[in-house]
Amino acid sequence: MQTGATLTKVKRSASEPLRDQILQRCRMMLMAGHVVPGQKLPLRPLAEEFDTSLMPVRDALNRLVADGALELSSSRTIRVPDMSDERLIELHEIRRSLEGLAAEYATPHISVSSIDRMQELIGEMAEALKVDDFDTYIARHFSFHFTLYAAAERETLLGLIDRLWLQVGPYFRQGIEQAKTACENPNVAHIKIVAGLKARDSTMVRTSVEYDVFSAVDFLRTGIWPKGQ
């Protein structure tokens, strides 16, 4: 299947449908950049790897298509969509708007322990980057942002932001690998976010998050078009 990730069997349990277990796996693959743009994800090989029938795999992938994380190309093959300049910019206009909103709502409510955790995550991100452990970097980076956004306690908003991250996931990894050094720049935003939270300054947090998202555009662009098209 060449998903780049180690896939093990999923088990049928009453608590969680196979579809959801498979969905979770596929989400991880996308977020971690373990699938590459343009890559096909045919149902049957995936079903074989998960040791299930087509149906739950089909359900999971259809869900991801609905979320814009995958696409149904003409002649109905499911693949990881390519990124265009326009789409990248649009996604980040929306990200800026929604993540800024979430950041603002989160600021008064977020717990001190969560802020401390975010502080730690900044350190762990730097550590991971030093040893080229991109998987860990991506995981910590995700935790950092979603610890903040979850504190806004807006379920629908969180879901929308999640969808947007799923769409940039496959390109984010390429961005880091290409522009590793440039990652210091976003980290400045991260530090300001934590500082803003400690001061309970909603405007500062929102502005810092918006800047973080803003700077991500150029960062991602270098990953998508390394030669500088």
Which residues contact DNA (rule: CB under 7 A)? 12, 14, 17-19, 40-45, 52-56, 58-59, 62, 72, 74-78
Looking only at residues 164 through 193 of this chain, which bind its own copies when binding is defined by CB under 8 A? Answer: 167
* Binding window for its own copies (CB under 8 A); candidates: 89-97, 126-134, 139-147, 208-216: 89-97
| Residue 150 found at the interface with its own copies (CB under 8 A) | no
User: Minimum Å distance from CB 23 to DNA?
Assistant: 10
| Residue 201 found at the interface with its own copies (CB under 8 A) | no
Looking only at residues 29 through 88 of this chain, which bind its own copies when binding is defined by CB under 8 A? Answer: 59, 62-63, 66-68, 87
**For its own copies, which is the closer residue by CB, 137 or 171?**
171
Q: Are 122 and 19 in contact (CB under 8 A)?
A: no
* Binding window for its own copies (CB under 8 A); candidates: 132-140, 156-164, 200-208, 221-229: 156-164
Report d(CA 12, CA 56) in Å as an integer. Answer: 11
| Type of residue numbered 184 | E
- DSSP character for 199? T
- Token digits of residue 171: 């390109």
CA 12 to each of CA 28, 29, 89: distance values in angstroms, whole numbers, following the listed order: 20, 21, 41
CA 84 to each of CA 135, 170, 215, 224: distance values in angstroms, whole numbers, following the listed order: 24, 13, 17, 9
**For DNA, which is the closer residue by CB, 23 or 98?**
23
User: Minimum Å distance from CB 167 to its own copies?
Assistant: 8
Report d(CA 64, CA 61) in Å as an integer. Answer: 5
* Mask for 109-148, x = binds its own copies (CB under 8 A): ----------------------------------------
**Which of its own copies, DNA, none does residue 11 bind (CB under 5 to 8 Å by kind)?**
none
Q: Are 224 and 88 in contact (CB under 8 A)?
A: yes
The residue assigned the tokens 């934590």 is: 194
Q: Are 91 and 167 in contact (CB under 8 A)?
A: yes
CA 226 to each of CA 17, 138, 173, 221: distance values in angstroms, whole numbers, following the listed order: 40, 20, 13, 8
| Residue 97 found at the interface with its own copies (CB under 8 A) | yes
User: Minimum Å distance from CB 5 to DNA?
Assistant: 18
Rule CB under 8 A: which residues touch its own copies?
59, 62-63, 66-68, 87, 90-91, 93-94, 97-98, 101, 154-157, 159-160, 167
